[in-house]
Amino acid sequence: MGAEIDVHDLVQAAAAGDSHGWDGLVERFGALVWSTARAWGLSLEEGADVTQTTWLRLAEQLGVLRDGHNRIGVWLASTARQESLRQLGTRVADHADPGQKEPAAPPAATATPPEPEVMLWRVLRDLPEHCRRLLRVLSAVPPPDQEELAAALDLKVADVPAARTACLEEFRHRMASIGIKADAQDS
Amino acid sequence: MVNPADAQLLDELRRAASQFDPPPPAVIEAARSSFTWRTIDAELAALVFDSGVDRPVTALRGGEGPRLMTFSSSGLDIEVEVANLGSRRQLVGQLVPPQAADIDVRHAAGTTTIQADQLGRFRADAIGSGPVSLRCRLAATPSGPPVVTEWVPL
């Protein structure tokens, strides 16, 4: 709840022309916007364009959003998703290469056993699309709330808890199947 | 609400995301500097058509033609054709209703100002790829609010 009040203050400050308010919004939601673009499969370059477009649109509409919309995180996540889908659409139209598989590949295998984080990232990459996407957005720091997550993924808010539980369960199952006990690695 | 095992797993995922796919510093810097592009008291023209995504999939097969976009505000439509010239973009456009205007093409490298003629036709060559927005200052209403398009990556 406290964070929400902070966001409201940041929006008010930014709308009044205070760049510190704006920087605070970037700090709070920068990873959410980026993670949303990457979750939808955009390359680093495409993700950079979509992320900047999303922030430019917020700058343009801050005055309108200030009064009518106190959930800037939801607006940002939704805009980042829509622009990511637009980017994917133009990629097909340009018949460009389909881009690298996202999220980014962890370092290639070496003779030494990979770090637990590397294994975990590989398992995430190989999840079914909807779970890979959900967990990629959910791993933004600071974490999105349920409404932001729903907006980033185009889910109903009411469906988020069950989807999250199912995807974490699938993830844990796959980790276990390659011999990693996900809940006790860093003890 | 979130059980402890899930919370711990999510912590590990967040550590991995921070390690392997954090927002690049240049992306965060671009987000910060986006604030300087905001315009006060402009009328926003929304993107209402984009052939890059709105045309039927069957039309994509032979899709060598330019991308067509229409932005719409209450008093002015802005139609733009975008052609790719390598990493550069060429914009050819039309104001509807036709009229003269100064148009600021706002893009990553700065602002390029061009003129729409009496028939509302305009053209900008060699715009860098990335987000672009047009700000139109209409000759008929020089003291009125400019019309700015939504930002779109080109």
Dist CA A37 CA A83 (whole Å): 8
Question: Do residues A77 and A130 share a domain?
Answer: no
Averaged pLDDT score across all residues of chain A: 85
Helix axes A44-68, A2-15, angle to 10 degrees: 90
Q: Are residues A77 and A21 in the same domain?
A: yes
- Kindly state whether residues A61 and A131 are assigned to the same domain: no
Q: A4 pLDDT exceeds 90? A: no
Round to whole Å and give the CA distance between B67 and B85. 12
At A114, the pLDDT band (50, 70, 90 cuts) reads confident
B131 interfaces chain A, CB cutoff of 8 Å: yes
Asked if A32 contacts A76 with a C-beta cutoff of 8 angstroms, the reply is yes
The pLDDT assigned to A129 comes to: 96
**A136 and A172 belong to one structural domain:** yes
Question: CATH number for the domain including A53?
Answer: 1.10.1740.10
Is residue A105 in some structural domain?
no
**pLDDT for the residue numbered A103:** 57
Name the residue with tokens 């209703």.
B97
B31 → closest Cβ in A51, A94, A106: A51
State the Cα–Cα distance between residues B42 and B122, nearest whole angstrom: 20
Which sign, positive or negative, has the C-alpha torsion B98, B101, B105, B106?
negative
Q: Quick check: B29 contacting A, CB < 8 Å?
A: no
Residue A78 has pLDDT above 60, yes or no: yes
- Are A133 and A179 found together in one domain? yes
**Number of domains chain A is built from:** 2
* Digit-coded pLDDT (tens) for A128-141: 999 999 999 999 99
Same domain? A135 vs A168: yes
Amino acid letter for position B124: A
pTM of the model: 0.87
CB of B8 within 8 Å of any CB in chain A? yes
Q: Both A154 and A74 in a single domain?
A: no
In a domain, A143, yes or no: yes
- For residue A187, the model assigns a pLDDT of 40
pLDDT of residue A68: 56
What CATH number is associated with residue A125?
1.10.10
User: In the prediction, which pLDDT does B39 show?
Assistant: 83
Cβ separation B131–A53 shorter than 8 A: yes
Question: Does residue A165 form part of some domain?
Answer: yes
Which chain A residues touch B13 with a CB distance below 8 Å? 120, 124, 135, 138-139
Query: What pLDDT score was predicted for residue A154?
Result: 97
What does the pLDDT read at residue B3? 82
Q: Does B26 reach chain A within 8 Å, measured CB to CB?
A: yes
Q: Which of A51, A61, A141 sits opposite B18 (nearest CB)?
A: A141
The reply to whether B107 touches chain A by the CB within 8 Å rule is no
Q: Please name the member of B38, B55, B151 whose beta carbon is closest to the beta carbon of A53.
A: B151
A77 and A157 part of one domain: no
Which is more confidently placed, B142 or A98? B142
Contact present, A41 and A88 (Cβ < 8 Å): yes
Nearest CA in chain A to B61: A93
Q: For the residues A38-55, what does the mean pLDDT come to?
A: 96
CA-nearest residue to A50 within chain B is B153
φ, ψ of residue A173 in degrees (nearest 5): -60, -45
Are A128 and A83 members of one domain? Answer: no
How remote is the C-alpha of B102 from its chain's centroid? 18
Q: Which domains does chain B show, CATH number per domain? A: 1-37 (no CATH), 42-153 (2.60.40.10)
Rounded to a whole number, what is the distance in Å from the CA of A43 to chain B's nearest CA?
11
Contacts of A141 in chain B (CB under 8 A): 14, 17-18
The residue among A56, A18, A25, A13 whose CA lies nearest residue A142 is A25
Would you say how long chain B is, in residues? Answer: 154
pLDDT > 90: percent of chain A: 64
Range of lowest pLDDT (A36-50, A99-113, B30-44): A99-113
Both A79 and A11 in one domain: the answer is yes
Measured between its terminal Cα atoms, the distance across chain B in Å is 43
pLDDT of residue B62: 47
Residue of B nearest to A86 (CA): B53
User: Lowest-pLDDT range, A91-95, A122-126, B14-18?
Assistant: A91-95
- Whole-angstrom CA distances from B108 to A27, A54, A104, B15 are 21, 14, 25, 32
| Three-state SS at B48 | strand
Average pLDDT over every residue of A9-20: 92
B64 interfaces chain A, CB cutoff of 8 Å: no
Is the residue at A110 inside a domain? no
Residue B74: predicted pLDDT:
92
A101: in domain: no
Nearest to B6 among A141, A168, A186 (CB): A168
Residue B68, pLDDT score: 94
Min mean pLDDT across A24-28, A97-101, B48-52 is at A97-101
Give the model's pLDDT for residue A185: 45
The residue among A128, A123, A135 whose CA lies nearest residue A175 is: A123
Span A157-169, average pLDDT: 96
B40 touches A: beta carbon within 8 Å: yes
Residue A94's pLDDT band (cuts 50, 70, 90): low
By mean pLDDT, which of A36-45, A145-154, A170-179, B20-29 is the weakest?
Answer: A170-179
Q: Kind and range of the H or E element at B135?
A: strand B131-138
List the beta bridge partners of residue A143.
Answer: none
pLDDT greater than 80 at residue A95: no
- Shared domain check, A86 and A25: yes
Domain that includes residue A32, residue range:
2-93
Residue A57 pLDDT > 50, yes or no?
A: yes
Contact B24 A44 (CB under 8 A): yes
10-residue averages of pLDDT along chain B (154 residues): 83 93 96 91 92 64 74 96 90 97 92 96 92 95 92 92
The string over A98-130, giving b where at least 16 C-beta atoms fall within 10 Å of a residue's C-beta and e elsewhere, is ebeebbbebeeeeeeeeebbbbbbbbbbebeee
